[in-house]
Structure 1
């Protein structure tokens, strides 16, 4: 296939410049030649936690469990071409076999799943990821035609990161240009008085440095993985026990035709390494990642501000029209938004109860647990 040949050529060229990025796919000298090569593209830098704890071990497990019949060629930092916003179409069309992406990078394509991106909806990523996987399978599979969804999760609470100006009240948002990671967060920023700016996370640090934007909303691990904390020196957080300001749904997907073309034995390998358990583990990884990532910003001498509960209540009140607006938008699409909202809340409540009382991201030294067990 011409497209795959071009990708393969690009991969070889990129690997010559960054050999460490492809070390994970190297096979032993006596290993059998793989029957199936899976081109796996994502936007994360090779050093990111998601790569270390998902991409690398997942590829190793799939190779080991298939006895070398399948292997990954990973394409970090969009090195296979395109932009993060194109990942959904690339995997649907078979340009990439596997992708990790943010649903919000393609606004309006996954309206039902946006319920998990509404402000003050969730409390922790592990529970919300369990709920997101169940919700997708029950209510939103029609949004994922052409794809085999291997995992669906949300990250931990997004915080506010700004350069030079602290956000302590709603009034502080006036005149502030903030990067919005999704359509619903853009509406939240508007409701709070800021000017939302849409862009993939890969461009945020440069945009803050140049003054194109004043700040962004991202979770802690993303802030350090993309070195945002080096450009944004002030961080505003909600207090412990508060619902999350916002979160984002992330997807691990495979081209459906590629999956269906596999033998039953190889499909079983993919299935064993995907689904509800993987989604929950990814959510837990995000929860566990917050404290050590936050510590990096603290070590850099950055400033921190925790919103008092009365101010959080003001933000929650200001955000209510965002939730109502989502339901109205669903109604216009012929979808019962209220029923979906209530179903999502019920699922969240079911899964949040068993994980209540876990350590706050503001606590010290939370150990990050791998969402994928290493291959033997």
Structure 2
């Protein structure tokens, strides 16, 4: 009889612990660098947070902190999530040059196609090649934006118009590309772009259409240059990341909610939102009657010829660091082709 009572007490205690675990509520703090009305915060991060809250029956709450409102600078976001200062971040990978070297393959000129396909390719690529660099972090998605353009005060109608132009670039590789094209690159996080343009610190910027409304780019410059063909000039890469300890502390059923809102489809959705945002940005510039230029195939090829040596230089650099540089490039291109065709 005593054994039966002991067993019943133990079973009751286990049931109580299980109920407590399943009743656990958590609040996760999400920090990122753009204003709340920008494309990704408004149309991707907000719906993601609402979906996670709904699927957890209200047990996961996401506190949103936009535009670096918790302090620090955009390049510090990755340290904030690594150190557990915040639970979640969305950031540009290239803001910390040298920290995630294998990801740079997707920033190489004229590799990307569109935001959704390139994001799916990038997520799959990172699962294969980048895990060591993100060790200790729970990556929810890697993704990319749509085709990058040149937005300038004076028209850029040819490669010669790039000569000496002070252009904002968002990463090490993109700055190298701008230099190869004859420009003078000026590295800075995207939130600094508007002020830099208005004060004449830069003459132009490289960003996709989707971010131009929140930065007022179409008001600050009146010329926008894009390219012919299926491959955009460049893309920038992003990571949506969770602190590993914050994830591990969750009960299993809440981990499942996070897992169900992570991965390839989450990356694809982030890319889709970027593509949709491109249409909005283009519409604003068109309605403002700005000068929107698409370089023809012949001129686009001149830019490709000028930028292509950067690919071999990157392969050689990565190989010298102990990576299989050519394999990284080949896999990036193959995955972009695969997901663009699907």
- Give TM-score scaled by structure 2 length: 0.91
C-alpha deviations, 1:301-349, integer Å up to 9, x for none? 3111111211111110111111111111101210010011111111111
Aligned to 2:205: 216
Aligned to 2:110: 120
Determine if contact 2:34/2:67 at 8 Å carries over to the other structure: yes
Distance (whole Å) between structure 2 residues aligned to residue 91 and residue 297 of structure 1 = 36
Query: Once the 2 structures are TM-superposed, how far is the Cα of residue 171 of structure 1 from its aligned partner?
Result: 1.1
Query: Once the 2 structures are TM-superposed, how far is the Cα of residue 49 of structure 1 from its aligned partner?
Result: 2.0
In the alignment, which of 233, 243, 252 is matched to residue 264 of structure 1? Answer: 252
- 1:183 and 2:172 matched: yes
Query: Once the 2 structures are TM-superposed, how far is the Cα of residue 35 of structure 1 from its aligned partner?
Result: 2.4
Q: Which runs of 5+ in 1 are unaligned?
A: 1-32, 355-376
SS at match of 2:334: helix
Aligned to 1:59: 49
Aligned to 1:365: none
- 1:201 and 2:190 matched: yes
Distance (whole Å) between structure 1 residues aligned to residue 150 and residue 328 of structure 2 = 28
Determine if contact 1:34/1:71 at 8 Å carries over to the other structure: no
Aligned to 1:147: 137
Query: Once the 2 structures are TM-superposed, how far is the Cα of residue 182 of structure 1 from its aligned partner?
Result: 1.0
In the alignment, which of 68, 73, 76 is matched to residue 63 of structure 2? Answer: 73
Alpha-carbon RMSD across the aligned residues, in angstroms, is 1.3
Count residues with an aligned counterpart: 320
- 1:296 and 2:284 matched: yes
In the alignment, which of 163, 171, 175 is matched to residue 174 of structure 1? Answer: 163
Larger mean Cα displacement after TM superposition, 291-300 or 334-343: 291-300
- 1:309 and 2:297 matched: yes
Counterparts of 1:1-376 in structure 2, within 5 Å, are 35-163=25-153, 165-239=154-228, 241-354=229-342
SS at match of 1:341: helix
Query: Once the 2 structures are TM-superposed, how far is the Cα of residue 297 of structure 1 from its aligned partner?
Result: 1.1
Query: Once the 2 structures are TM-superposed, how far is the Cα of residue 147 of structure 1 from its aligned partner?
Result: 1.1
Aligned to 1:374: none
**Larger Cα Rg: Structure 1 or Structure 2?**
2
Aligned to 1:11: none
Determine if contact 2:44/2:273 at 8 Å carries over to the other structure: no
Distance (whole Å) between structure 1 residues aligned to residue 61 and residue 24 of structure 2 = 6
C-alpha deviations, 1:97-153, integer Å up to 9, x for none? 100001011111111111011000011121111111111111110010221000111
Determine if contact 1:178/1:194 at 8 Å carries over to the other structure: yes
Determine if contact 2:163/2:182 at 8 Å carries over to the other structure: yes
Moved over 6 A (4+): none
Query: Once the 2 structures are TM-superposed, how far is the Cα of residue 245 of structure 1 from its aligned partner?
Result: 0.2
Q: Which runs of 5+ in 2 are unaligned?
A: 1-22
- Give TM-score scaled by structure 1 length: 0.83
Distance (whole Å) between structure 1 residues aligned to residue 270 and residue 245 of structure 2 = 25
SS at match of 2:272: helix
SS at match of 2:58: coil
